[in-house]
Amino acid sequence: MMTAPASVAGQFKDDHRVRVAVVGIALVAGGVLGGRLVGSAAMSTNAFVLLIPLVPLFLVAVRRRPRLTVFVALACALLFEQYPYEISGHSGPFTAYVAAFRSNGMVLLPIELILILAVLVCLMKAAVAGSLELPRSAFSKALGAFLFLCFIGFFVGYSRGGDFNIALWEVRPFLLLATTYFITTILLKNRDSIRTVLWLIVICTGFKALMGTYMFFSFARAMNPRPESLLAHEESVFFGILVVLTVGLWVYGERGLLRRVATALLPFVIIATMANSRRTAWPIIMLGLVAFLTITWVTQPTKRRAVGPVLALLAVISAVYFPLYWNKTGGTVAQPARAVRSTVSPDARDESSNLYREQENANLELNIQGAGPLGTGFGRPIAYVLPIVDVSSFDPMIKFIPHNGGLWIWMRLGLQGEMMFWILLGTALIGAARLVRSVDPLIALMGSLTVAALIAYILQGYQDLGFANMRVAVVIGCLLGCVAAASRFDKQDANTDSRPREMATT
């Protein structure tokens, strides 16, 4: 269960020298990082440098509202692609050229600078206050154990000739997830912050949906053949989260502007998902909705009147839609049916993709068998013993990070790493599911939404590099941090409600 952070007794209490040292180290580290960022920006043509003049204003705002670092990190993850790309001669979205997740000669990524700034703020506030709060939940302990195995995997790979930079890229998503979880848990102090996170999901993901819809109608629809995709793989996860959130706002009776805006954007999310033609997108939406509605039905009896009609509507739509479009091989509207059909009766394109993944998985299994008890470690290329098509000219990192994230973790960290990763996911799911029992609709909604997001994370991780994606890692870390913070709010409310009764009995 993701419980509230517990104070580390005596961490800074009554020790003025330690507190001064922490503040001093934080200031020095902030100065070094800031100098490095400005120096690198002066040599860079990255569009991200246009934001450099805003850094002083951002630092002043963070001093007054530290939780802004969480919101900025989440917005960057939802908006900015990891890599720039083109679509059959057309430029990709302008957001792909903002290098929030690319180094451009810097040691640290811009997103990492934002998160490190948040960590420094947390340490300085803890030093001044005389106490440091750290998450002490089952999930946080599993996360710490998994990160320890990642560090072992990093040094094992490097000691065996692995590339240092590539090993760092492989470990980065897990470090980003952990850091985002840590700062979100600590810095979110009230329900308004939870609502702000939901607003960011709606606005940023809705904006990407509008962008995808515009790209489809402005040029992609007229192309023959149509491009295989318009947006990045990870948008499938974010679109799925927004669909579930919109349904959740109705089911939980969350009236207001947030629900109206999310509902208005929902058609564009559906259109953009269809136009993007990612096979994992529709299983993410379908399974996410089923999980969300099922857990709400079980844990929230008062919401069954709202859940029942939604389930009935989905059943009717499915009963009409899938027979009509099951045998359609093309067209935007047929994409959901194609995604489901590809698992049992794939067409030529899907069969080719399936074959590549089967060959890739067979090679990964051989790598696992020959890796030894500690795994291969990070930074070492995958040994392709069995025949497979070489696609490294399109994606050089495919030599190191395969599509199947589960086998990738097993290969890199050994059986203990694979088991700990699943323990990590299990504790995350349990913590989020327990939160759904809250009597506060907003907190219960956050719990059920996070369950659906974790399912999307698992599906994307096993099919399309989701576990190695830094954008997805930041979003999932933020949601899990929201669950931990919301658990703290819920526990505080329970203690407050119980006080009058306790006083009456005494």
* pLDDT, tens digit, 9 for 90 and up, residues 141-182: 999 999 999 999 999 999 999 999 999 999 999 999 999 999
Q: Is 348 helix (H, G, I), strand (E, B) or coil?
A: helix
Asked if residues 220 and 213 have their Cβ atoms less than 8 Å apart, the reply is no
- Hey, where are the domains in the chain? 136-498
Global pTM value: 0.86
Pairing of strands 86-87, 6-8: unpaired
Give the mean pLDDT of 367-383. Answer: 93
Phi then psi for 231, rounded to 5 degrees? Answer: -125, 170
Phi then psi for 68, rounded to 5 degrees? Answer: -60, -30
Provide the strand spans (E) within 199-299.
none
Rounded Cα distance, 311 and 297, in Å:
10
Please give the DSSP secondary-structure letter assigned to residue 6: E
Query: What pLDDT score was predicted for residue 505?
Result: 39
Please give the DSSP secondary-structure letter assigned to residue 448: H
Give the mean pLDDT of 93-118. Answer: 82
Higher local confidence (pLDDT), 236 or 118: 236
Rounded Cα distance, 179 and 183, in Å:
6
pLDDT classification of 349: cutoffs 50, 70, 90: low
User: For 4-137, where are the alpha helices, taking DSSP H only?
Assistant: 16-42, 55-64, 68-79, 110-129
Rounded Cα distance, 291 and 449, in Å:
9
Instruction: Assess whether pLDDT exceeds 90 at residue 506.
Output: no
Taking CB atoms within 8 Å and a gap of at least 24, the contacts of 312-321 are 314/289
Pairing of strands 90-91, 6-8: unpaired
Rounded Cα distance, 343 and 320, in Å:
20
Ranked by mean pLDDT, the top range of 127-141, 156-170, 303-317, 334-348 is 156-170
Residue found under tokens 């899938």: 322
**How far, in Å, are 243, 349, 475 from residue 240 at the CA level?**
5, 24, 13
pLDDT classification of 88: cutoffs 50, 70, 90: confident
pLDDT classification of 26: cutoffs 50, 70, 90: very low
Rounded Cα distance, 312 and 296, in Å:
15
Kindly report, residue by residue over 178-223, the tens digit of the pLDDT: 999 999 998 898 889 999 999 999 999 999 999 999 999 988 888 8
Query: 293-302, 388-397, 440-449 — which is least confidently predicted?
Result: 388-397
Residue type, 489: F
Residue type, 99: A
Kindly report, residue by residue over 482-505, the tens digit of the pLDDT: 999 999 888 776 666 554 444 333
Ranked by mean pLDDT, the top range of 39-53, 144-158, 303-317 is 144-158
pLDDT classification of 76: cutoffs 50, 70, 90: very high
pLDDT classification of 330: cutoffs 50, 70, 90: low
Query: What pLDDT score was predicted for residue 27?
Result: 43
**How far, in Å, are 6, 98, 241, 408 from residue 378 at the CA level?**
33, 28, 30, 10
Dihedral angle over CA of 188, 193, 196, 200, nearest 10: 10
Rounded Cα distance, 96 and 238, in Å:
16
Please give the DSSP secondary-structure letter assigned to residue 87: E
Q: Which two tokens stand for residue 85?
A: 């790309």
Query: Helix %, strand %, coil % for the chain, to 5?
Result: 70, 0, 25
Asked if residues 451 and 292 have their Cβ atoms less than 8 Å apart, the reply is yes
DSSP states of 116-144? HHHHHHHHHHHHHHT-EEE--SHHHHHHH
Please give the DSSP secondary-structure letter assigned to residue 399: G
Query: What pLDDT score was predicted for residue 448?
Result: 95
H/E element, 186: helix 164-187
pLDDT classification of 33: cutoffs 50, 70, 90: very low
Query: What pLDDT score was predicted for residue 56?
Result: 65
Rounded Cα distance, 414 and 193, in Å:
39
Return mean pLDDT, the chain: 83
Q: Is 26 helix (H, G, I), strand (E, B) or coil?
A: helix
For a pLDDT cut of 90, what percent of the chain falls above it?
A: 48
Instruction: Assess whether pLDDT exceeds 50 at residue 4.
Output: no
Residue type, 497: D
Query: What pLDDT score was predicted for residue 42?
Result: 41
